Amino acid sequence: MAVIIELLGWGGKRQRYFTVEGPAVTIGRSYQNDVVLGDGHISPEHLRLDAIDPSNGVEGGWQLTDLDSLNGVEILKNSHSTSSHFTRADPHESNSLTLLGEGAELKIGRTRLRILSDSHPVDPAKELHHLEQDVGKLNRLSIWLPLFLLSLTLDIGALYASSYIEWQWKNVLSTILGTQAGLLMLALFWGGLGRFLRSESHFLSHYCLILLAGLAYSLSDWLIGVLGYNLGTQTVALVLKPLIALSFAGLLLSANFALATNMLPRQRWVSALGFVMLIIVVSITAQVSQWGEFSPYPDYFSGLEVPVLQFADAESAEQFVLGLDPIFAAADRMALD
Amino acid sequence: MSTHKNILQDGADRLRAPVAALLLMALLVCWPTSSWAQSDSARTLFADNKAGILQIRIIDITSGSKSAIGSGFVVNETGLIATNYHVVQMAASKPEQYRIEYLSASGTSNSLILVDVDVINDLALVQATGQITPVLPLAAAEPPIGVPVYALGNPLDLGMTVVPGTYNGINRTSYHPRVHFTGSLNSGMSGGPTLNQVGEVVGINVSTAGNQVSFLVPVTALQQLIAEHQLRGQGVENIRQRIGQQLIADQQKKFAQLLALDWPTIALGEALVVNELSPFFRCWGGSNSSSDKAQLLNADRTCRSEDNIYLNAKFNSGVIEHQFFWLEADKLNQLQFYAYYQRLFSDFAPGNKAREKDVSDYQCDSEFVAVNNVEAQPERKTKAVFCARAYKDYPQLYDVLFLQGTVDDSRAAFISHFTLAGVSRENAKAYARKFMEVAQWQ
């Protein structure tokens, strides 16, 4: 039975592993060891592991022997039934004996190791999600460049359309650069996470996803504006806008998770939903303090759209005046509260 | 020492023409008074009437110290004293927290009972328990313009003071008449008398616009209030109800008068807008037509009735405001023009100030309306907004805000707006009807 010695990196991720045949393994910095490590804080002969065969009630595992190392052996995790008595091998007590179970983690010098047998079970393969394959295609120049240009054009266009002062490119540039810097930072975050968790960043895919979500949100925002304008109420926007914003945020997050992490689809959706719930709770908390606050200014619906987008019918001035009574009645009710 | 606030303080209005600042009243600052040669007349008047002019103090019952001061004067033999409503307002609103007391020139002080108010003219009558002499006679006739008159009172708690000035007649530019007095009134002189050379009261000190421009309540309003009080024979039981009735009656009279008028119009761009409805409306206008940097044409006209009824330090009423904007896209494209129009449309505010304890929140509704010659010009789209807030202490009274915006194929737009403070439901509706009918894009 071979012993597997895994070298763990940041976050417990495996960086390298050694397979050693035979009943005993020595680990240290000198070349005579079975596992030779370069960490300068590891002694030339640091420790030895002796396999214990499982037989008549004796639990299998390894016996750890600290070979009088300078910095000792720290046991980070040990599943052996006797381990509770030996959570840490005392470096000052030479040749102390400790039993290690399957999957035990040690730290020697600044290096983390995991001890496994070669029969240790591994997780079943995860199915590649179709999203992952499709989203991966966003990396292509033919996709991300047009998308980037489209969003840039729309950004500038929207700024131009809403600007009624003298057009100054320097102001526009600073706004656009600010927005793009924000988007890139977000994409960089996801890319970095992907690089760390899956060794592939998909930076451009993340960037494209964020752009797509932004475009979709802008479009729905505009449609809601038109709807609210025709219905003459801000309740529509008040309810629909956060709903749509949150669903897009959820979708975007889920896709980001799919690209950047090893999560299963369910975990991904739950995480995205959890994040969205968090936003909801935070924004509700922020708004609770505002509820019922008096304002000396009227909060009327000022949403306006270009005339061609008005589909609702207009009433006569007389009908308008006759319809004012409910406003007075509502004001009376509020004054009595 | 806390001094009382003046009645003519400006409301916060985000779109007010800057000219309105001209009439911004401020009494809290002490201006150095110009020196004068004290005439014999002033000296005798002061000596003769000093005892009949009192400092009115509003005392916080719990702390026992004065929270506000003003002046007052004796108007009859029973110890009836006249002052301003805004001097005694705290005690009128919260009798459980404040009481009223007077301090005479000789140093005697005693408590006073509030017996009647005229909130419209900013007057109050308080009753002393005993006789105080001398009684100041009220002038039977209005003095001619230009005669010297003397305002007396207790400015800034500095002691009894006489301020000579000139009587400039009743100012016709406010709905509620005020005497224009050229002289420096200061905080604490409110409620004190202004006397003519023979020692008769010609007005009651009420407010200042600074720089020797001050205002008095005409003595006729006081005469009427005293007559009403004497007819009743006793103090008013419920001051709040009395104020509510006065506000209702005043707005009824004012709007009946305004709605009966044939409203004059004046052109603003392609629209006809309401001009100065009556002398007490002040209008200003402007445009950016001479500006090279302007991207669009923006012409506006604002009219405001200089008519503030003081209800408390942070709540005034009575003001009427009209505002009109004519916009042309000029260098802007449709979308940009629309963005400007929308921004302007979202930025309207009431003409008076109020607090949560005085009024409800505004309740609003917005509708598309078919006005502004829409039959002939179907591409014109008009949206109207109406908001109302109810007065908490004075039922049946509201502040309302109306706003209407019309835009055609996004090359021109017309916004009309009015606010009314302290108006009944029916008058507000009638006003809206008339306003929508008169202010139209032709």
- Does residue A111 carry a pLDDT above 80? yes
Q: List the domains of chain A with CATH numbers.
A: 3-117 (2.60.200.20), 133-288 (no CATH)
Minimal CA separation from B318 to chain A, in Å: 16
Asked if residue B293 and residue B207 are part of one domain, the reply reads: no
Please indicate, yes or no, if residue B13 is contained in any of the structural domains.
no
Contact criterion met (CB < 8 Å) for A317 and B293: no
Burial category of B348 from C-beta neighbours within 10 Å (exposed 0-12, middle 13-18, buried 19 and up): buried
* Cα gap B432→B423, rounded to integer Å: 12
Per DSSP, the residues of A30-50 read STTSSEE---TTS-SS-EEEE
User: Cβ neighbours of residue A299 under 8 Å, at least 6 residues apart?
Assistant: B361, B362, B364
Instruction: For chain A, list residues whose CB is within 8 angstroms of any CB belonging to chain B.
Output: 160-166, 232-233, 294-304, 306-307, 310, 312-321, 323-328, 330-332, 334-335, 337
> What pTM value is reported for the model?
0.76
Contact criterion met (CB < 8 Å) for B363 and A327: yes
Residue of B nearest to A332 (CA): B390
Q: A-chain residues within 8 Å CB-CB of B374? A: 314
Minimal CA separation from B373 to chain A, in Å: 11
Nearest to A313 among B346, B348, B368 (CB): B368
Asked if residue B188 and residue B132 are part of one domain, the reply reads: yes
Contact criterion met (CB < 8 Å) for B12 and A306: no
Find out whether B149 and B194 touch, Cβ atoms under 8 Å.
Answer: yes
Q: How far is CA B324 from CA A19, A42, B209, in A?
A: 87, 84, 27
Contact criterion met (CB < 8 Å) for B365 and A160: no
Please indicate, yes or no, if residue B255 is contained in any of the structural domains.
yes
Percentage above 90 pLDDT, chain A = 32
User: Cβ neighbours of residue B312 under 8 Å, at least 6 residues apart?
Assistant: B89, B90, B93, B358
Strand partners, A52: A61
- Does residue A302 carry a pLDDT above 90? no
Contact criterion met (CB < 8 Å) for A330 and B363: yes
Q: B-chain residues within 8 Å CB-CB of A159? A: none
Contact criterion met (CB < 8 Å) for A335 and B359: yes
Nearest to B407 among A307, A323, A330 (CB): A307
**B304: contact with A, CB 8 A cutoff:** no
Q: How many CA atoms lie within 13 A of B320 on its CB side?
A: 23
Nearest to A126 by CA among A305, A284, A261: A261
Minimal CA separation from B29 to chain A, in Å: 27
Find out whether A283 and A242 touch, Cβ atoms under 8 Å.
Answer: yes
Residue of B nearest to A317 (CA): B369
Cβ neighbours around B316 below 10 Å, total: 24
From B237, B259, B294, the end of a domain falls on B237
* Peptide bond just before B155 cis, omega within 30 deg: no
Please indicate, yes or no, if residue B75 is contained in any of the structural domains.
yes
Asked if residue B214 and residue B304 are part of one domain, the reply reads: no
Percentage above 70 pLDDT, chain A = 92
Contact criterion met (CB < 8 Å) for A327 and B342: no
Asked if residue B88 and residue B229 are part of one domain, the reply reads: yes
Count of domains for chain B: 2
* Cα gap B20→B22, rounded to integer Å: 5
The H helix count followed by the E strand count for chain A is 8, 10
- Does residue A105 carry a pLDDT above 50? yes
For chains A and B, count residue pairs whose Cβ atoms are closer than 8 Å: 168
Interface test with A, best of B375, B389, B401, B434 (most A CBs within 10 A): B389
Please indicate, yes or no, if residue B2 is contained in any of the structural domains.
no
Nearest to B342 among A232, A299, A304 (CB): A304
Per-residue pLDDT of chain B (442 residues; tens, 9 = 90+): 333 334 333 333 333 333 333 333 333 222 333 334 445 677 787 788 888 899 999 999 999 888 889 999 999 999 999 999 999 999 999 999 999 999 988 888 899 999 999 999 999 999 998 888 789 999 988 899 999 999 998 887 778 888 899 999 888 777 888 899 998 888 889 999 999 988 899 999 998 888 888 999 999 999 999 999 999 888 888 999 999 999 999 999 999 999 998 999 999 988 999 988 888 888 898 888 777 778 888 999 999 987 789 999 899 999 999 999 999 988 888 888 888 888 898 889 888 889 999 999 999 988 889 887 777 788 888 889 999 999 999 999 999 999 999 988 768 999 999 999 999 999 999 999 999 999 989 8
* Cα gap B134→A20, rounded to integer Å: 119
Nearest to B369 among A166, A301, A315 (CB): A315
Asked if residue B420 and residue B341 are part of one domain, the reply reads: yes
Q: Which residues in chain B (170-189) have CB-CB distances under 8 A to chain A?
A: none
* Cα gap A25→A116, rounded to integer Å: 12
Find out whether A64 and A52 touch, Cβ atoms under 8 Å.
Answer: no
Interface test with A, best of B360, B396, B403 (most A CBs within 10 A): B360
Asked if residue B250 and residue B228 are part of one domain, the reply reads: no
Kind and range of the H or E run holding B188: none
* Cα gap B407→B385, rounded to integer Å: 15
CATH number of B187's domain: 2.40.10.120
Contact criterion met (CB < 8 Å) for B341 and A304: yes
Please indicate, yes or no, if residue B9 is contained in any of the structural domains.
no
Asked if residue B254 and residue B334 are part of one domain, the reply reads: yes
Find out whether A80 and A89 touch, Cβ atoms under 8 Å.
Answer: no
Asked if residue B383 and residue B326 are part of one domain, the reply reads: yes
Contact criterion met (CB < 8 Å) for B349 and A160: no
* Cα gap B350→B95, rounded to integer Å: 30
Q: Which residues in chain B (264-303) have CB-CB distances under 8 A to chain A?
A: 293, 295-296
Q: Which residues in chain B (319-348) have CB-CB distances under 8 A to chain A?
A: 332-343, 345-346, 348
Angle in degrees, 0-180, between the axes of helices A235-260 and A265-288, rounded to the nearest 10: 140
Mean pLDDT along residues A118-145: 79
- Does residue A7 carry a pLDDT above 50? yes
Minimal CA separation from A325 to chain B, in Å: 8
Asked if residue B429 and residue B383 are part of one domain, the reply reads: yes
Cβ neighbours around B10 below 10 Å, total: 18
Q: B-chain residues within 8 Å CB-CB of A232? A: 365-368, 383
From B237, B254, B282, the end of a domain falls on B237
Minimal CA separation from A154 to chain B, in Å: 14
Range of the domain at B307: 246-441
Please indicate, yes or no, if residue B139 is contained in any of the structural domains.
yes
Asked if residue B166 and residue B25 are part of one domain, the reply reads: yes
β-sheet with B320-328: strand ranges across: B281-287, B297-305, B320-328, B412-423, B398-407, B381-390, B363-369
Contact criterion met (CB < 8 Å) for B408 and A307: yes
Instruction: Give strand ranges (E) for B297-407.
Output: 297-305, 309-312, 315-317, 320-328, 363-369, 381-390, 398-407
Minimal CA separation from B398 to chain A, in Å: 8
More confident residue, B380 or A303: B380
Minimal CA separation from A139 to chain B, in Å: 35
Q: How far is CA A108 from CA A26, A51, A67, B43, B64, in A?
A: 13, 19, 12, 104, 79
Contact criterion met (CB < 8 Å) for B370 and A316: yes
* Cα gap A218→A237, rounded to integer Å: 13
Please indicate, yes or no, if residue B102 is contained in any of the structural domains.
yes
**ipTM for this prediction:** 0.82
What is the pLDDT at residue A45? Answer: 93
From B185, B204, B237, the end of a domain falls on B237
Please indicate, yes or no, if residue B5 is contained in any of the structural domains.
no
Contact criterion met (CB < 8 Å) for B336 and A164: yes
Asked if residue B207 and residue B173 are part of one domain, the reply reads: yes
Nearest to B426 by CA among B311, B259, B244: B259
Nearest to B353 among A296, A312, A317 (CB): A296
Asked if residue B142 and residue B190 are part of one domain, the reply reads: yes
pLDDT digits (tens, 9 = 90+) for A223-267: 888 888 888 777 788 888 888 989 999 999 988 888 888 888 888
What is the pLDDT at residue B38? Answer: 44
